[in-house]
């Protein structure tokens, strides 16, 4: 069983791959990228919820920190959800420039967000929650997206 | 547990990096004007005052400004480190560095010792302030990744490059050029290029290439060992350069080998990247890889040509490699910062990153820049070409200035309007969830 840090870091890489394959298809036609967009947006939403509904809650309960790093990460999730929604709208209206403008912005936002989580938050979470690591990973894996 | 590295106000104020980024092209432009009005014979020697002026307008005015600006922004993201009182430190040191660089250029040009003394104080205090502040931030880092190690190592080189620079400047002020002047200036330039800039670029690229382009990750050997091998090479070169000059070429080969390997690795990683997008930043990474490869080979080969081509080596490595990467990064960082800070303050109807800089203008800037690099190299052999390519360089710097200012103007314009959301209330709501 992987640790919280390994599990969520690997999930970042998986979402990066989905993002790249969506963009790959979108270069030829936006229509062909729709399915991959749904897959990417769905898996990214799943990742956010695994954090917000499981890991962040456990971390906040353990450390008592509700307005610290997790609040910052939640805020960035909101920013990214809004960008993903706008990307979906650009796909519907077949606006290629808008789509790639949004995808570029999302990509950088996503990467700097992931970096902060991997560098700091996951490391801290692993330290505080090491005893419950397997249980938390299991809960994240079995979580149903709302 | 220290949570300061990852708090709501983690990102430094936008003014900290922007003040450095916005001034850099001005010094590029000054360098271009100096090239245009300098006699070609003076440019063929690296020791002429004109060559020294142009080199420092670019290395201090452009390279170090971009590197310092980027560090204020990247340290929190890549290392989770915060520079203490970043806004104030950036403001004061930026002022001192601008003042110091202008005094250096005008002082060396006119031979006015009062100006060079001001330069000594301005550059010495400005750089020291930033180096100490960044070092303080790095010392608090808990998770020492290869990128953080590279940043710290590069900072140590920066410190020594600064000390040597001040010694060299002092000898100009005292008008006492000793026999060691040449040796110190050699170490100053080689450590500046490969130790300060080179190691920082390699360290940051470990993160940036996989992050921005979904390129394959660097191998553990690259991330864990290569930097130390380069440091060893630079120390070996230092010792051989001072005591056993005949063997310096071996150390040169050692250092060159790893930079050559880096150049080819960058090219291959870009080929294997998963994101298909090819924007001007990819073009800049590619050009920097080609120029770095040519420059390192030439740097070693120059030993056998009596160091007659040092200016060309500087043009390829400084202009082609370091300059290229830095311009490329500016095109990514500035639009993102503008978007990030506006969105974070509650503005929702803002242009995307791609809409902030005119694509055609960024490509035009790239073409003028690369044409200038090639042309200036050719003018080393055909002096009549110098003027026309100096123009091309000047033009590329003017367009660059416009391109980096455009997103900042968007920022200023939107900031004057009322935000769509009150983010302070939003943040409290999120925090209480």
The pLDDT tens digits for B14-64 are 999 999 999 999 999 999 999 999 888 888 777 889 999 999 999 999 999
What is the nearest CA distance from A55 to chain B, expressed in angstroms? 14
- CA of B278: which chain A residue's CA is closest? A27
Q: What is the count of residue pairs from A and B with beta carbons less than 8 Å apart?
A: 113
For residues B261 and B263, give the distance between their C-alpha atoms in angstroms, rounded to a whole number.
5
Residue B124 placed within a domain: yes
Enclosing domain of residue B35: 9-143
For residues B225 and B239, give the distance between their C-alpha atoms in angstroms, rounded to a whole number.
21
Residue B29 placed within a domain: yes
Residue B136 placed within a domain: yes
Residue A143 placed within a domain: no
Best of A79, A89, A105 to substitute, by most chain B Cβ atoms within 10 angstroms, is A105
Residue A144 placed within a domain: no
**First-to-last C-alpha distance (Å) of chain A:** 25
Residue B384 CB burial class (10 angstroms; 0-12, 13-18, ≥19): exposed
Yes or no, beta carbons of B7 and A63 under 8 Å apart: no
Would you place residue B417 in the very low, low, confident or very high pLDDT band (cuts 50, 70, 90)?
confident
Question: One digit per residue, pLDDT tens: chain A, 146 residues?
Answer: 689 999 999 999 999 999 999 998 998 889 999 999 999 999 999 999 999 999 999 999 988 888 778 988 998 999 999 999 999 999 999 999 899 999 999 998 898 899 889 878 898 888 899 888 899 999 998 888 88
Residue among B212, B344, B431 minimizing CB distance to A71: B431
Residue A145 placed within a domain: no
For residues B310 and B299, give the distance between their C-alpha atoms in angstroms, rounded to a whole number.
7
Find the CATH number of the domain harbouring A29.
Answer: 1.20.120
Whether B219 has its CB under 8 Å from any CB of chain A: the answer is no
Residue B103 placed within a domain: yes
- CA of B78: which chain A residue's CA is closest? A115
Residues 6+ apart with CB under 8 A from B171: B177, B178, B181
Contacts of A87 in chain B (CB under 8 A): none
Residues 6+ apart with CB under 8 A from A106: A80, A83, A84, A87
Residue among B276, B336, B351 minimizing CB distance to A23: B276
Whether B354 has its CB under 8 Å from any CB of chain A: the answer is yes
Residue A61 placed within a domain: yes
Residue B266 CB burial class (10 angstroms; 0-12, 13-18, ≥19): buried
Residue B370 placed within a domain: no
Residue A141 placed within a domain: no
The residue ranges of DSSP E strands in chain A, in sequence order, are none
Residue B76 placed within a domain: yes
The total of structural domains in chain A comes to: 1
Share of chain B above pLDDT 90, in %: 65
The total of structural domains in chain B comes to: 1
Residue B68 placed within a domain: yes
CB count, 10 Å around CB of B291? 26
Enclosing domain of residue A60: 4-136
Contacting B with CB below 8 Å, chain A residues are 16-17, 19-21, 23-24, 27, 63, 65-69, 71-72, 74-75, 78-79, 82, 97-98, 100-102, 104-105, 107-109, 111-112, 114-116, 119-121, 123-124, 127-128
Residue A10 placed within a domain: yes
For residues B34 and A133, give the distance between their C-alpha atoms in angstroms, rounded to a whole number.
62
């Amino acid at each position: 069983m992987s640790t919280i840090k390994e599990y969520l870091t690997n999930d970042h890489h998986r979402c990066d791959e989905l993002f790249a394959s969506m963009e790959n298809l979108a270069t030829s036609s936006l229509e062909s990228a729709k399915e991959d967009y749904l897959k990417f947006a769905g898996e990214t939403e799943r990742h956010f919820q695994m954090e917000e509904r499981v890991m962040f809650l456990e971390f906040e309960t353990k450390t008592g920190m509700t307005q610290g790093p997790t609040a910052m990460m939640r805020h960035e999730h909101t920013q990214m959800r809004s960008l993903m929604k706008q990307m979906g709208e650009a796909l519907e209206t077949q606006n290629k420039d808008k789509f790639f403008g949004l995808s570029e912005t999302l990509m950088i936002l996503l990467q700097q967000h992931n970096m902060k989580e991997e560098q700091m938050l996951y490391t801290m979470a692993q330290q505080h929650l090491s005893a419950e690591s397997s249980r938390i990973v299991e809960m994240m894996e079995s979580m149903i997206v709302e | 547990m220290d949570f300061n590295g990852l708090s709501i106000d983690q990102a430094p104020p936008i003014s900290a990096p922007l003040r450095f980024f916005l001034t850099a092209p001005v010094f590029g432009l000054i360098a271009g004007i100096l090239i245009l009005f300098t006699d070609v014979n003076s440019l063929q020697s690296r020791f002429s005052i004109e060559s020294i002026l142009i080199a420092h307008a670019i290395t201090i005015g452009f390279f170090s400004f971009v590197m310092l600006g980027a560090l204020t922004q990247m340290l929190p993201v890549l290392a989770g480190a915060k520079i203490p009182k970043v806004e104030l430190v950036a403001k004061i040191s930026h002022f001192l560095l601008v003042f110091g660089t202008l005094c250096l250029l005008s002082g060396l040009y006119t031979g006015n010792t009062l100006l060079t003394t001001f330069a000594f104080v301005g550059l010495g205090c400005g750089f020291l302030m930033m180096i100490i502040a960044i070092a303080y931030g790095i010392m608090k880092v808990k998770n020492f990744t290869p990128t953080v190690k590279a940043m710290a190592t590069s900072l140590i080189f920066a410190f020594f490059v600064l000390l040597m620079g001040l010694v060299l400047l002092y000898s100009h002020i005292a008008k006492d050029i000793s026999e060691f002047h040449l040796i110190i200036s050699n170490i100053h330039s080689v450590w500046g290029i490969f130790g300060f800039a080179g190691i920082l670029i390699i360290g940051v690229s470990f993160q940036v290439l996989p992050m921005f382009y979904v390129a394959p990750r660097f191998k553990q050997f690259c991330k864990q060992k290569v930097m130390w091998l380069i440091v060893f090479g630079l120390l070996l070169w230092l010792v051989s350069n001072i005591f056993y000059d005949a063997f310096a070429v071996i150390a040169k080969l050692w250092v060159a080998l790893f930079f050559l390997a880096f150049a080819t690795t960058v090219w291959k990683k870009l080929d294997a990247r998963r994101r298909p997008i090819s924007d001007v930043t990819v073009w800049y990474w590619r050009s920097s890889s080609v120029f770095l490869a040519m420059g390192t080979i030439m740097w070693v080969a120059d030993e056998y040509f009596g160091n007659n081509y040092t200016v060309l080596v500087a043009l390829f490595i400084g202009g082609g490699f370091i300059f290229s990467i830095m311009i490329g990064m500016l095109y990514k960082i500035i639009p993102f910062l503008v978007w990030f800070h506006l969105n974070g303050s509650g503005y929702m109807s803002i242009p995307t990153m791609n809409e902030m800089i005119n694509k055609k203008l960024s490509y035009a800037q790239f073409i003028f820049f690369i044409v200038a690099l090639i042309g200036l190299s050719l003018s080393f052999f055909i002096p009549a070409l110098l003027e026309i390519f100096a123009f091309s360089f000047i033009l590329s710097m003017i367009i660059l200035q416009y391109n980096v200012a455009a997103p900042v103007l968007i920022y200023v314009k939107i900031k004057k309007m009322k935000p769509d959301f009150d983010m302070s209330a939003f943040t409290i709501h999120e925090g209480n969830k």
